[in-house]
Each structure stands twice: as C-alpha cells, then as structure tokens.
Amino acid sequence: MSTSIEDQALSSTGSDLKCDGYGISLVVSSVLFVLYLAVHAKKNLNSLCRRGSYVVVSYFALLWLVTLLNLAWSFLQAWQCSPGKEVAWNLLSLFTASGMLCLEISLMAFLLKDNYMNGMEALAHSFLATGIIVFVDTLLKAIYVFGVGVPLFNHNVRSTHTIKWSLWIIHKLLLAAAYGFILFANFSKWREKLPPRPSFHNYVAVMFVFSVITLFACGLAAIDAGLGNWLYDLTVLCYHSLYLPFLYVTFLADFFQEEDFLLDNAYYSEMKDAGFFDADWE
C-alpha cells in the first residue's frame, strides 16, 4: 500500500512543483530563528543560571532541540520525493511533530498549574503527563505510518488516502477542543484557576483559531476540495515557520526580560544605597 501511494505521489500525473516542499520561506524563517537563539544564547543561559528554575531550563532546552529538528525538517523537504528516503523522512517528520506537540502540551501543563517557576516536583508532574500523551500520539502515528503505510507526512499525497485525512481531522479536533475548553473556562467559575497573564489568554485564543482553521482545511482536503489542500499546506507552513518564535516571544522572552528588569532594579538599589543619586536631590 505504502509503495503504491508513494509511486502515485511521484508519478508524472502529479505536480512536480510539489516536490519542492513548502518553499524557501520555511527554510529562511527556521534559520533566522536559530540565529536569533544563538545570538542571545549566552545572555539567556546566564539568566537561567541566576534564576535556577528547573522547569524553564528544561523547557528552554526542549525548545532548542525542537528548533534544530524543525530546521533539519525544513532543509530536507526533498526527501519526501526521493526514492529510498521515505523511511528517513517519516522518522524525521515523526520526531519533529512529536517535539512540537510536546512543547504545546507541556506549556499548558506548566501554566495551568501556575507553578512553572517551581522545582523538580512540578517539573516531574508536568513532564509525566506530557510524556504519556505524546508517547501515545507518537506510537499511534508510527503504527499507521510504518505498520499500515498511511502517508501522514507526505505532503504530495492529497485526497487519495482517506485514512490520512481522517487521522489528521481527529488529531486537530482534539487540539481545538482542548484550547476551546480553556477559552470557555476563562468565562466560567474556573477562571480563577487560570494564570492571570494576558499573554496566556492571547496564546490560547490564537492557537484555538489556528486549530479550527487547520481542522477546517483537513475536512476540505478529505472531500478533495482544492481550497482544502492549499489551506492545509498554508497552515503547515505557518506552524513550522511561526509557532516556535511565537512561543518564545510570548513566554520565554518575558522570563528573560523580567530577569533583566529585576537585575536593573537591584543595581539601582545598590547605587542608591551607596549615595550615587544624592546629588540629584540637592
């Protein structure tokens, strides 16, 4: 089944342009984000060492790992159209997708408990729940990709495989339901249990809208609608290009900026106690 599907995707009846992957914009955005992290790496590591938050340190390390996987995934788009590279492409896609899903779920686990600045116990509980969900998701995808031959990660296979789109519909539906429930909780009696950070609510709202759009795109693609295929490709491009920078700017950047603010206040207090600003009052 897998061989016939791949042959169909690579046949002369398909569009040869599809083998170019998602375009140079995906590579450029991935490279720019890696360069941004590298430029600020020393400063961020110093902040992490001063604050001593095991959760944020672990999350920052996970972000680096997934960013490098996403960079490799962006550069190696041609593998999905190269004979003999199907297994390597599926493995790379599986690990990249699982890593990004782990970031999504672990972030919600940290923030919903409102203890993401605490120690090893919070880290263990959050990663345990995240690990179970991601493991089950990865195992199911691996069974379908390598056991049944469903081309989940081959973007050249369109509506020729109903099971592929059915699986993606279920996957996106669960994500949309999770984000939707958190949005609903913001207007219910459970509102006090949510983090009081506006960035958290903005993040959930953006991810809910994005999940709904992706779900809609998968539904259209399943019925062989041309708009669905185009829209799904656009959501994949946006997700792999923008999600990691969006996550960093929304949460981790605040952590590092807060560290700089606290450090500046400490320096100011020390200088004030030493009398450096006495002349300003005379």
Model confidence pLDDT, tens digit, residues 170-228: 999 999 999 999 888 877 777 777 777 788 888 999 999 999 999 999 998 888 777 88
Q: What single-letter amino acid sits at 58?
A: S
pLDDT at 169: 93
pLDDT at 4: 42
Q: What is the tally of structural domains in the chain?
A: 1
- CB-CB contact of 103 with 63 (8 Å): yes
Is residue 274 assigned to a domain?
Answer: no
Domain that holds residue 118: 19-249
Is residue 113 assigned to a domain?
Answer: yes
Is residue 269 assigned to a domain?
Answer: no
CA distance 137 to 145: 12
Is residue 36 assigned to a domain?
Answer: yes
Q: Model pTM?
A: 0.80
Is residue 40 assigned to a domain?
Answer: yes
Q: Which DSSP letter does residue 195 get?
A: -
pLDDT at 56: 79
15 backbone φψ class: left, alpha, beta (φ>0; ψ -120 to 50): beta
| Nearby residues of 124 by Cβ (< 8 Å), 6 or more positions away | none
- CB-CB contact of 141 with 152 (8 Å): yes
In this model, does residue 80 exceed pLDDT 80? yes
Is residue 190 assigned to a domain?
Answer: yes
Give the range among 53-67, 92-106, 243-257, 262-276 with minimum mean pLDDT: 262-276
3 state DSSP class of 214: helix
133-156: pLDDT as tens digits? 999 999 999 999 998 888 888 776
- CB-CB contact of 87 with 145 (8 Å): no
What would the mean pLDDT of 224-250 be, rounded to a whole number? 89
Which of 253, 261, 202, 263 lies closest to 59, judged by CA? 253
Is residue 257 assigned to a domain?
Answer: no
CA distance 274 to 268: 10
Is residue 162 assigned to a domain?
Answer: yes
CA distance 106 to 110: 6
What would the mean pLDDT of 254-261 be, rounded to a whole number? 57
